[in-house]
Amino acid sequence: MVHEQVWCPEHNEPKAVVAVKDGKPLRQCFHENCLRRKTLRGQICVGDTVHTVSPHHGRFRVWNIENNNFTNLQLVGNKGEGDFLIDHWENIPVDDLIPIEAKAVS
pLDDT tens figures, 4-54: 889 999 999 999 999 999 999 999 999 999 999 999 899 999 999 999 988
Give Rg (Cα) of the chain: 14
94 occurs within a structural domain: yes
CATH assignment at residue 51: 2.30.30
Phi, psi of 94 (to 5 degrees): -60, -35
Domain that holds residue 78: 7-99
pLDDT at 5: 86
Q: Do strands 7-8 and 13-14 pair parallel, antiparallel, or not at all (unpaired)?
A: antiparallel
Asked if the model's pLDDT at residue 79 lies above 50, the reply is: yes
Q: Within a domain: residue 47? A: yes
Confidence band, pLDDT 50/70/90 cuts, at residue 1: low
**High-pLDDT (> 70) share of the chain, %:** 92
Question: Domains in the chain: how many in total?
Answer: 1
Q: Is residue 2 part of a domain?
A: no
Q: In terms of Cα–Cα distance, which of 69, 68, 67 is closest to 40?
A: 69
